Amino acid sequence: MKFHEYEPIIVSARRVAKKMGVSPPDRETLAKLLEAQEQVSRGGREAEPRNLDESLTALHWQFDSTWVEERRPYYSVYPSLIKMLTKIDLSKVSSKQMVLPQGLTSLSIRLPQGHEIGGEVRSVWIHQNSLYVDDKYVPGIALGIDHGEISEGTPVYLMRTFPQSDLSIEDELEDLPKSAREHQGKQLSFDHNLAAIRLACTVCLMGNDSDILSPEVLSKDADRACDQNIELLVEKARRRGKVGWTLGKNMETIPHYRRPHPFLAWTGTGKKIPKIVMRSGSIVHRKAVEAVPTGFHSDEQCQHP
């Protein structure tokens, strides 16, 4: 299964420069070009923030830089989970309870080709950082939605930001614009916009649930991965720069299996910590399943890298 991938800003710039037959811009020049592009997206108006460090362009740049520093971590979400994760009620979860998984501050959430949200949303990036609100910096979340808009050969991201506060996530989402943007460009419906942001929020509440979350290994090692060698293969993949996880892959491959489904549970002391967990699935016609070849390795087939 192929997934949409996030392309770093500098990679996009180099690709476009090569196509145009010009030298790729340096970091400072690229930042100015991005600021000009943001002003165009606002219909020629000056950016609302008082300086570049507070603009959407800067927030995108901060995500991009952090994501590369953290070795480009990603989650590949399989089709069986996409719709379920966008339907969970988050009205009792405050936005300050959102924490990116795996100890990360940046993450690219990739959707499969052919299974985009509403046929449009291909990926969502999320960054936990500081936002400038009421003359001070506060903890916040910035998200970028790739919904297929392209400008000058590079993706244009629909960005949303919200400070992390006692307001519920659903209350924060109520502030999303329900009408089309004032400037020209590819539009994204409110429902699809909402679904993409909910997906990112629920991923932040899943923690490191090994029941549906699996670390990725190199493609050439995938067929020989098993319980005995998986940790070594994952370590090998990360040495080669592959830092990713699949979400819901095992739910795609189990025959005659009534799928588990995610729900919001309250955990910890006093049941005050929200977490998305999986309600157990069940095997249908167990005897028939036992006769189906699984294709999984036996212990004798496991090989260490």
- Which is it for the CA torsion 186, 4, 30, 132, positive or negative? positive
- Domain annotation covers residue 51: no
- Report, as an integer, the average pLDDT of 181-193: 74
- Domain annotation covers residue 268: yes
- Report, as an integer, the average pLDDT of 32-50: 53
Predicted confidence (pLDDT) at residue 30 exceeds the cutoff of 60: yes
Predicted confidence (pLDDT) at residue 47 exceeds the cutoff of 50: no
Among 56-60, 211-215, 237-241, 279-283, the range scoring the smallest mean pLDDT is: 279-283
- Domain annotation covers residue 28: no
- Domain annotation covers residue 62: no
How far is CA 175 from each of CA 56, 160, 167, 209, rounded to the nearest angstrom?
17, 10, 12, 31
**Residue span of the structural domain in which 144 resides:** 67-301
Highest-confidence segment of 16-30, 64-78, 81-95: 64-78
- Domain annotation covers residue 35: no
Among 86-90, 140-144, 174-178, the range scoring the smallest mean pLDDT is: 174-178
Residue 180 pLDDT: 54
Phi-psi region of 207 (alpha: psi -120 to 50; beta: other; left: phi over 0): left
Predicted confidence (pLDDT) at residue 300 exceeds the cutoff of 90: no
Residue 260 pLDDT: 60
188: nearest Cα among 160, 227, 154? 160
- Domain annotation covers residue 159: yes
Residue 118 pLDDT: 93
- Higher-confidence residue of 187 and 235: namely 235
- Domain annotation covers residue 214: yes
Residue 56 pLDDT: 77
Mean pLDDT, the chain, integer: 79
304: nearest Cα among 218, 229, 220? 229
- Report, as an integer, the average pLDDT of 158-178: 82
- Higher-confidence residue of 194 and 10: namely 194
Predicted confidence (pLDDT) at residue 52 exceeds the cutoff of 50: no
- Domain annotation covers residue 153: yes
Q: Which two tokens stand for residue 196?
A: 């993409």
Number of structural domains, the chain?
1
Residue 246 pLDDT: 94
pLDDT tens digits for range 244-277: 999 988 776 544 444 566 768 888 888 878 887 7
Predicted confidence (pLDDT) at residue 53 exceeds the cutoff of 50: no
- Report, as an integer, the average pLDDT of 211-215: 85
